[in-house]
């Protein structure tokens, strides 16, 4: 099997499993379209923190992240640094994860747009970020200390406008359904 075919299959599988929309996506024609992947980098933890910080630091226009668990100080600081350079940063967090309360407060205090994911789903178990509308970080890595330093996890940084666009469509839909973080 060629690498691009493997990678496309992996990404589509990650999309179905990590986002929890198996039935709706299997019926959607976008799942069956070939994605044009210009470049891809495999990231494994441990250690993944440095590579994720570098990926976030590469954004020039926007970062849209939808995450199940987010507690890594280094990744929080990377988002704050990006926002300080004029990057539009939005973060959608699962509200039923205790660590996310502190993260939401920290990010809001630093001027980052944060919302709680809708309770429409059992959980928003997503772990993805779209960078500049053309790069996608997606995989099994929660943005937590354990996931970054203790667990065996896998992530892919993909340059693909078509995949990024699809993930951004989902993010926008979820963002609209989300609720403002208060306090």
Domain segments of the chain as ranges: 38-180
Q: Give all strands (DSSP E) within the chain, no chain letters.
A: 39-45, 62-67, 88-93, 113-116, 127-131, 135-139, 153-159, 179-180
CATH of domain 38-180: 3.30.870.10
User: Exposure of 121 by Cβ count < 10 A (0-12 exposed, 13-18 middle, 19+ buried)?
Assistant: middle
Annotated catalytic sites, by residue?
Answer: 125, 127, 132
Q: Are the C-beta atoms of residues 56 and 48 closer than 8 Å to each other?
A: no
Spell out the per-residue pLDDT of the chain, length 183, in tens.
Answer: 455 554 555 554 554 444 443 333 333 444 445 566 769 999 999 999 999 999 999 999 999 999 999 999 999 999 999 999 999 999 999 999 999 999 999 999 999 999 999 999 989 999 999 999 999 999 999 999 899 999 999 999 999 999 999 999 999 999 999 999 986
């Amino acid at each position: 099997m060629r690498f691009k075919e493997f990678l496309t299959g992996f990404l589509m599988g990650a999309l179905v499993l990590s986002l929890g929309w198996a039935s709706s996506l299997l019926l959607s024609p976008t799942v069956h379209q070939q994605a044009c992947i210009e470049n891809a980098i495999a990231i494994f933890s441990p250690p993944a923190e440095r590579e994720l910080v570098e990926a976030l630091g590469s954004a020039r226009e926007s970062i849209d992240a939808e995450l199940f668990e987010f507690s890594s100080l280094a990744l929080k600081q990377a988002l704050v640094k990006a926002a300080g350079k004029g990057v539009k940063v939005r973060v959608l967090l699962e509200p039923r994860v205790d660590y996310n309360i502190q993260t939401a407060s920290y990010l809001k205090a630093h001027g980052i747009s944060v919302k709680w994911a809708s309770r429409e789903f059992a959980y928003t178990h997503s772990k993805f970020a779209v960078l500049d509308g053309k790069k996608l970080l997606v995989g099994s890595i929660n943005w937590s200390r354990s996931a970054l330093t203790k667990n065996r996890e896998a992530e892919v940084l993909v340059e693909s406008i078509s995949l990024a666009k699809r993930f951004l469509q989902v993010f926008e839909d979820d963002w609209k359904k989300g609720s403002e973080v208060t306090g």
